[in-house]
Structure 1
Amino acid sequence: MKKIVIIGASGFIGSTMFNYLSQKLSNDCVVKGTYFSNKKANELLYMDITDSKQIEHYLLMEKPYFILMLAGSKDVKKCEMDYSFAYKMNTQPVEFIVDTIKKYDLDTKLIFFSTDYVFDGEDGNYTTKDIPNPITNYGKTKLLAERVLFESNIDFKIIRTGAVMGKNGIFFDWLIRTLNIENNVFVFENVFFSPTPIQLLNEMVRALILNYENSPEKLLHIVGDQRLNRYQFAMMISRLVETKCANLVPENANLEQSLFHKDLSLNQSDFVRERQTKSLDEYLENEVYHD
């Protein structure tokens, strides 16, 4: 059986993906994973992604067929304050993985998770053909990691996603909680994005693993199929929360004095468009009522 390792299997996306793939691919693959500070499953092994020796040791021990590289720092504010931190967390670990694969000639395919922040957010509806222009250290260091892969000779694919939504996600949980306890919830209407249900992302990653050899694209946009502002998204969730007591109030973010982007919406890749089985509303309903 092929072995999959998820580097960063203890975060919101990683832990959900670890559980999903372990169940859905149990007849085809063995799924392993790493954690750094929050061990959510007994079988996860510790890894500090800033330590090249730990990465090398782990990959030589596991010899995975697939690596899903989810680990890094999504703390946009902290990255903006410290470029060296952003580089150490988001670019250098990919360099370490590539170096290990090449050094030991491993038969390993790397699936790297990038971000909508590789764009400047001026236009929106970005495709994989659009030229990135990051304006934050987070986006810059994720784009550098993409370039490391394109300049390597290893077998890889890059998944750009953004605003992954689901139970245990920070914004998603905050929204549902505040809808139930506040009188008014203020949400930006001048910040656009492509909300991505965690279940959709998991389904597409599974499909990519099963169809890897028949998928020629090196770069994929795996996102939800709607461009929404935050207020519109909050309205979708509000309609699903039967116990809500709050009113949603639209407001504008100060885009010049914050790290918010005007429009980071991405266009779905054909790979996703051809395989998506439910509407955005259906995915979100599953998350709201998810036990």
Structure 2
Amino acid sequence: MRILLTGANGLLGQHILARVAAHPAHEWIATGKGPCRFSCNEPIVYESLDITDREAVRALWNRYRPDAIIHAAAMTHVDACEQQKATCWQINVEGTHHLIEAARATSSFFLLVSTDFIFNGEAGPYTEEDVPEPVNYYGLSKLCAEQLVRASGLPWAIARTVLVYGNIPGREKSNIVHWIVQQLQQGHSIRMVDDQWRTPTWAADLAEGCWQIVSQQACGVFHLAGPDMLTPYAMAQQIAEVWHLPAELIQPVNSLSFQQPARRPPRTGLIIQKAIQQLHYQPHAFTESLHIIHKQLNQT
């Protein structure tokens, strides 16, 4: 199978490639905006691609004619999406539309990576059947992308996830775990929200779930998240414990103490029973994944 991956330079994209690089049975065309930021070895081919450029997308598709796509490229910074709505729409919605148009030429399987932020956070955690109602522009853009995929006429799947974190050995990529470790190691006091709830997702687990969807050609919506419902404050406490860092530097605060351009849903989180049953998805507990990341970082 020939598979196109967008967002290959991102945390999820790099974990997907790390997951499959040792299995040369499939061809991978990894794409990202700008130069390759990982070790581009066979069977992975890297191509720079701006998904907002319709003709560039079409030309690349015609060159490789992939059997499947994992569409992980997106503008994900929630406040930036709120402040730069036109750019957010271009990337998250129009970019998805361009890829769908190209994929129709080969009737390719289309997997879109989406988000818990399509929900309003009033009644989480959520199942795949719960009704979306985004409270910020990022969530709205991803919901619109989902609707395009559903209406595409292609064999499709949507993988929703939550607050992705992780580490690629030797390839530093910022996320909540790295940021908290860095701040505490430098002796900085940090304020962490204690009234918002999420099911944080290890990038390695998400990559495995995405691979199971594509390899099985499993159609429909799947929630791929971690098994633990935590506040960012509770996450920071566990991170401090695993890294043996001073937890007293972590201050619990109300989300209203932050003035942010984009509203955050208070309680999202995703119920993952469907993925467990149909995909045999087995995500790691948050603390378990932290110990693995800690070990990886100590080896680099």
Q: CA RMSD in A?
A: 1.9
Q: Is the 8 A contact 1:183 1:246 kept in 2?
A: no
Shift of 1:101: 2.4
Q: Which residue of 1 aligns with 2:128?
A: 128
Matched, 1:34 2:31: yes
Q: Is the 8 A contact 2:163 2:200 kept in 1?
A: yes
Could you tell me how far apart the structure 1 residues matched to 2:184 and 2:196 are? 20
Matched, 1:197 2:202: yes
Shift of 1:267: 1.1
- The C-alpha deviation readout for 1:237-287, integer Å capped at 9, x for no partner, is 111103x23522211111795333211211114223643164332222111
Q: Which residue of 2 aligns with 1:113?
A: 113
- CA gap of 1:181–1:246, structure 2 versus 1, over 3 A, is farther
Aligned AA (1:263):
R
Could you tell me how far apart the structure 2 residues matched to 1:270 and 1:78 are? 32
Q: Is the 8 A contact 2:162 2:225 kept in 1?
A: yes
3-state SS in 2 of match to 1:290: helix
Aligned AA (1:177):
Q
Stretch deviating more after TM superposition (131-140 or 183-192):
183-192
Aligned AA (2:89):
Y
Shift of 1:185: 2.7
Q: Which residue of 1 aligns with 2:265?
A: 261
Shift of 1:38: 4.7
Q: Which residue of 2 aligns with 1:185?
A: 190
- 1:101 paired residue among 91, 100, 103: 103
Q: Is the 8 A contact 1:178 1:246 kept in 2?
A: no
- The C-alpha deviation readout for 1:50-102, integer Å capped at 9, x for no partner, is 10001111111111111110112112112112322111010111111221222
- CA gap of 1:17–1:133, structure 2 versus 1, over 3 A, is same
Q: Which residue of 2 aligns with 1:226?
A: 228
Q: Is the 8 A contact 1:15 1:40 kept in 2?
A: no
3-state SS in 2 of match to 1:227: coil
- CA gap of 1:286–1:272, structure 2 versus 1, over 3 A, is same
3-state SS in 1 of match to 2:255: coil
Could you tell me how far apart the structure 1 residues matched to 2:257 and 2:66 are? 43
Matched, 1:288 2:294: yes
Q: Which residue of 2 aligns with 1:21?
A: 20
Q: Which residue of 2 aligns with 1:9?
A: 8
- CA gap of 1:82–1:183, structure 2 versus 1, over 3 A, is closer
Matched, 1:245 2:242: no
Matched, 1:149 2:155: no
Aligned AA (1:125):
P
For structure 1, the 5+ residue unaligned runs are none
Q: What percent of counterpart residues are identical?
A: 22
Q: State the number of aligned residues.
A: 282
Q: Which residue of 1 aligns with 2:281?
A: 275
Could you tell me how far apart the structure 2 residues matched to 1:268 and 1:176 are? 28
For structure 2, the 5+ residue unaligned runs are 168-172
Could you tell me how far apart the structure 2 residues matched to 1:286 and 1:80 are? 34
**Given the two structures, how large is their TM-score scaled by the length of structure 1?**
0.90
Stretch deviating more after TM superposition (275-284 or 171-180):
275-284
3-state SS in 2 of match to 1:16: helix
Shift of 1:220: 0.6
Q: Which residue of 2 aligns with 1:171?
A: 176
Q: Is the 8 A contact 1:192 1:227 kept in 2?
A: yes
Could you tell me how far apart the structure 1 residues matched to 2:276 and 2:216 are? 12
Q: Which residue of 1 aligns with 2:170?
A: none
Shift of 1:12: 1.8
Q: Is the 8 A contact 2:8 2:32 kept in 1?
A: yes
